[in-house]
């Protein structure tokens, strides 16, 4: 399963791939379930593992295989069914489970699926624990000696599975409690696009119970329509409905609802960087931004960095992936961070990105200040033109082994100077490379990005 210290199965956000194709097969899920049960054993009782999922058709297959693997290794399973990723993290922590498993490929199309894991504290697993799980799975597959105690060999030690029917209600109540008790959304019209995903029954309920007039889109999942021309990946329909209905806000979630893209009352898109600028400045003014720091990623817009610097705060950049943002936040003692893609993390409330929670935080500012989102988002930051070029690759050959690409990057950086940035990286979830360039002139930076992409494709033999 790879060289020493290298994870083959786990990427930046768990294991991911095409459903029913390696590694997203029932066989791999079965072995992973056993490895998880062994890794998260409890000293005085059977381990308790939460399993939740989004609405993909293949979720049934993977859920059954994971469940079988976990109980065969002697741990108990707590099934919560379709629930947002942050909801599963919350249930794992609040119900004192030993680990949580999310079956979801987030914003990807229904043909894909994924498995990501949370520890007992609701935080995603660090790289070394994921590597240990891979080694455990490899040992089992090869039948090597020295494995952890195989409690599944004794019939009396087989675990059981129970369905947690109140998981959704617990998570809804948690979200509502994050909104100020003395505040209401009465008279506020909101368009909510749930991407036919995991939040289809949660997000509309939360906003409605807080008093909002809700127009719900993407709430008829059929196993195949998750993220299909809807949700955070395709917010145009949501934005158009905001304008048509005269709503104050549009909320577009992705398939597992850990990210959000907003639209103001004019139908203008508000992304994660703008939300971080908007909320970061308010947190700073309230004395609730430890270290006067917001944690973003290498992809965060330069305008966010400049906006924070303008009020005496700073942006710390982490690697792409909300788990790396969270790691940087915990290491530095910071409490707010996120990604341009809409993962927003509030460590005072949650352990991972939560799209519904982020929307509630923005609504809190709108109601408190009595101003439309177009006004507060427009004043939050000035966006630098940013161009992103994606292209498929056959392998993720390290960039340091591609000197011609390095020279191309250095050349562009020299042209841009301090008024621009170049970020070249591989996707952690797909066999793709990404070239991102920021600068003051969009046509120029697009030409630079295309040139770097051409050089990279030539070097990689694409």
Cα dihedral: 187, 202, 356, 330 (round 10):
150
Integer Cα distance of 189 and 178 in angstroms: 20
With CA atoms as reference, report the closest residue to 346 among 272, 444, 241, 270: 272
The residues carrying an active-site annotation are: 106
Residue reference for tokens 């029913």: 20
Question: HEC string of the chain?
Answer: CCCCCCCCCEEECEEEEECCCCCCCHHHHHHHHHHHHHHCCCCCCCCEEEEEECCCCCHHHHHHHHHHHHHHCCCEEEEEEECCHHHHHHHHHHCCCCEEEEECCCCCCCCEEEEEEEECCCCECCHHHHHHHHHHHHHHHHCCCCCCCCHHHCHHHCCCEEECCCHHHHHHHHHHHCCCCCCCCCCCEEEEECCCCCCCCCHHHHHHHCCCEEEEECCCCCCCCCCCCCHHHCCHHHHHHHHHHCCCEEEEECCCCCCEEEECCCCCEECHHHHHHHHHHHHHHCCCCHHHEEEEECCCCHHHHHHHHHCCCEEEEECCCHHHHHHHHHHHCCCEEECCCCCEEECCCCCCCCHHHHHHHHHHHHHHHCCCHHHHHHHHCCCCCEEEEEEECCCCCCHHHCHHHHHHHHHHHHHHHHHCEEEEEECCCCCEEEEEEECCCHHHHHHHHHHHHHHHHHHHCC
Four-residue CA torsion sign, 86, 124, 337, 285: positive
Q: Give the max Cα distance, the chain.
A: 69
């Amino acid at each position: 399963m790879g060289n020493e210290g290298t994870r083959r199965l786990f990427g930046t956000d768990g294991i991911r791939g095409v459903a029913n194709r390696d590694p997203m097969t029932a066989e791999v899920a079965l072995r992973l379930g056993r490895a998880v049960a062994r890794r998260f054993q409890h000293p005085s009782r059977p381990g308790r593992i939460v399993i939740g999922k989004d609405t993909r058709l293949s979720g049934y297959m993977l859920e059954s295989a994971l469940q079988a693997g976990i109980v065969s290794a002697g741990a108990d399973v707590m099934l919560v069914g379709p629930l947002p990723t942050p909801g599963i993290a919350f249930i794992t922590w609040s119900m004192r489970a030993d680990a949580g498993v999310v079956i979801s490929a987030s914003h990807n199309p229904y043909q894909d699926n994924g498995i990501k894991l949370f520890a007992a504290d609701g935080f995603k697993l660090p790289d070394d624990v994921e590597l240990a799980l891979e080694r455990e799975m490899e040992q089992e597959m090869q039948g090597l000696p020295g494995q952890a105690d195989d409690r599944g060999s004794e019939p009396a030690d087989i675990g059981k599975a129970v369905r947690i029917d109140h998981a959704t209600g617990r998570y809804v109540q948690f979200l509502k409690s994050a909104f100020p008790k003395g505040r209401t959304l009465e008279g506020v019209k909101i368009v909510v696009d749930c991407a036919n995903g995991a939040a289809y029954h949660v997000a509309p309920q939360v906003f409605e119970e807080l008093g909002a007039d809700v127009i719900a889109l993407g709430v008829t999942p059929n196993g195949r329509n998750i993220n299909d021309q809807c949700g955070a990946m395709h917010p145009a329909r949501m934005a158009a409905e905001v304008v048509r209905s005269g709503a104050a806000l549009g909320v577009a979630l992705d398939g597992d609802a850990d990210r959000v893209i907003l639209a103001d009352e004019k139908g203008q898109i508000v992304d994660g960087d703008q939300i971080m600028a908007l909320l970061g400045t308010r947190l700073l003014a309230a004395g609730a931004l430890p270290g006067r720091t917001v944690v973003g990623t290498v992809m965060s817009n330069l305008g966010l960095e400049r906006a924070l610097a303008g009020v005496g705060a700073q942006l710390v950049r982490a690697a792409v992936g909300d788990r790396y943002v969270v790691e940087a936040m915990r290491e530095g003692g910071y409490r707010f961070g996120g990604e341009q893609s809409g993962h927003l993390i509030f460590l005072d409330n949650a352990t991972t990105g939560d799209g519904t929670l982020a929307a509630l935080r923005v609504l809190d500012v709108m109601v408190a200040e009595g101003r439309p989102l177009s006004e507060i988002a427009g004043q939050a930051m000035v966006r630098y033109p940013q161009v992103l070029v994606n292209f498929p690759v056959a392998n993720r050959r390290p960039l340091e082994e591609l000197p011609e690409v390095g020279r191309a990057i250095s050349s562009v950086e020299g042209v841009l100077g301090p008024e621009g940035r170049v970020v070249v990286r591989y996707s952690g979830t797909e066999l793709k490379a990404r070239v991102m360039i920021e600068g003051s002139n969009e046509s120029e930076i697009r030409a630079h990005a295309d040139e770097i992409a051409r050089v990279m494709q030539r070097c990689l033999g694409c």
